[in-house]
Structure 1
């Protein structure tokens, strides 16, 4: 699988429509689910154990999309298979009263994984360059001196890029997934949730209300992706109409990153190795 074609370029402006919402893989759902996903999840699990044992690097995974695009399912079907000891999941909602009294990146810090962990953000700091552009809500204190409602977004893109570079330079690698879903597919998924009693809990009335801003969201997403996809912290644009294909891509992109990090189990040497052998002998001679 050539994962590079899903990676958002950082050297030129790209239209979101250049990335398909589907590659016709829905008909392969069963094959991908039963034959393709299990072995690559096993490889991801092995690499995650090594990452957790080595405690040299951490990975922060950003999942961003409109409702029903597949973020929660990706966490359930892929990341939930990993060792819970080295996994951290954070969901960001509307900023609380306390969070609003701080800078917008302040609430990120508790969500940052330790070295050896994979941290997952279901929605993220990117909400602060999405929702306020659609619905407003910035206060006077949110604007740096000289900034206005137009220039603030490029300023925030630069701040986010600097923040993610800071994380990267301190051993936390940020990989970001945007679930690129068509309006028709979202309609079908929302209707399924609304008409299926067992899925009613997944539905919110705001999901339908937000569809009124579909075009505005697409414009904001495009500018956000172009403004914040960097060499050290790239965005990957997933064809989210193909649900299992998207989960496969997330898994393979994570495997690619972990292979490049090449985590290794710590090796016992010197006095610790001698002590290890001493304790082995002690137990074997009981």
Structure 2
């Protein structure tokens, strides 16, 4: 099996999205991939337990990708060995009326992980420079000062949002949130095939919406926006990783392996016992052992 490292997917310089493949052959069978994923999941589970006890850091996993990129199934498969108390998944939908009464980052800030825990953002704060950029009329719902009509939206507006997002991530990173952002890079033809399978299999038809086809027609605009997002916001403290996503099993393994590689750089450890407790471990053990 081909050896993969997180650095293979980390973005540290400007990229052209259409030059990055959506398929990666890791030279192994699907069965072998599942076995390797299980090994990585087990290692992540142990690391999660140690990080929870350490209680100094938390982890924010951000997942972005076009419709059908496999975000939901990836969350299910990658995090299945985690202790349920240590990971929370947030799927951000259209903002509620309450959320719209706050700034656009508010609902994401309050969903950040507690120390020792993971939060997974399935769609993220980047929707605010993605969907709203493709559909700028959505911004009219936010009641932003000096923004009365779509024509008032300038490039400076978007640049300010990018600056705010970078500042937000830098702030939380400096306070112990380890950020990893994954773009599931799906090919247009593969998306077409996945949408067809949704329509052909009755048990998956509920996932289909006519709006999926409307958004598909805007494919090029979404790709342009994603490229801009990645180039402007992949930072040392909050890197983007581009994951070839035409094969779901491969994408899951890449994300899990990347998480393990990046988190292994940290010195998570179990807390030391107080000296008085440590000195009396044998006494406590003997006392419990002698009970009937």
Shorter-normalised TM-score: what interval?
Answer: over 0.9
Q: What secondary structure, in the 3-state scheme, does the structure 1 residue paired with 2:198 have?
A: helix
Residues 89 and 122, structure 2, Cα contact 8 Å, conserved in 1: yes
Q: What secondary structure, in the 3-state scheme, does the structure 2 residue paired with 1:111 have?
A: coil
Matched, 1:214 2:214: no
Residues 6 and 262, structure 2, Cα contact 8 Å, conserved in 1: no
Residues 143 and 152, structure 1, Cα contact 8 Å, conserved in 2: no
Q: RMSD over aligned Cα, in angstroms?
A: 1.9
Indicate the residue corresponding to 2:233 in structure 1: 228
Indicate the residue corresponding to 1:172 in structure 2: 177
Residues 25 and 242, structure 1, Cα contact 8 Å, conserved in 2: no
Indicate the residue corresponding to 1:31 in structure 2: 32
Bigger Cα displacement from structure 2, 116-125 vs 79-88: 79-88
Matches within 5 A, 1:189-268: 189-268=194-273
Matched, 1:2 2:2: no
- Return the offset for 1:144: 7.5
Bigger Cα displacement from structure 2, 131-140 vs 72-81: 131-140
Q: What secondary structure, in the 3-state scheme, does the structure 1 residue paired with 2:184 have?
A: strand
Residues 154 and 227, structure 1, Cα contact 8 Å, conserved in 2: no
Distance 2:206 2:27 in 1: 25
Matches within 5 A, 1:15-94: 15-24=16-25, 28-33=29-34, 35-94=35-94
| Structure 1 outlier segments of 4+, above 4 Å | none
Q: Residue deviations 1:12-41, cap 9 Å, x none? A: 4221123211124598333312x2211111
Indicate the residue corresponding to 2:168 in structure 1: 163
Q: Residue deviations 1:107-142, cap 9 Å, x none? A: 112310011101100001111111111112223843
Matched, 1:188 2:193: yes
Q: What secondary structure, in the 3-state scheme, does the structure 1 residue paired with 2:14 have?
A: coil
Indicate the residue corresponding to 1:126 in structure 2: 126
Residues 26 and 244, structure 1, Cα contact 8 Å, conserved in 2: no
Distance 1:31 1:268 in 2: 41
Residues 5 and 258, structure 2, Cα contact 8 Å, conserved in 1: no
Distance 2:47 2:209 in 1: 37
How many pairs align? 282
User: If the length of structure 1 is used for normalisation, what is the TM-score?
Assistant: 0.93
Residues 26 and 245, structure 1, Cα contact 8 Å, conserved in 2: no
Distance 2:99 2:24 in 1: 40
Residues 58 and 178, structure 2, Cα contact 8 Å, conserved in 1: yes
The change in CA–CA distance for 1:277 and 1:93 in structure 2 (over 3 A counts) is same
Bigger Cα displacement from structure 2, 42-51 vs 131-140: 131-140
Unmatched tracts of structure 1, length 5 or more: none
Residues 56 and 116, structure 2, Cα contact 8 Å, conserved in 1: yes
- Return the offset for 1:62: 0.1
Unmatched tracts of structure 2, length 5 or more: none
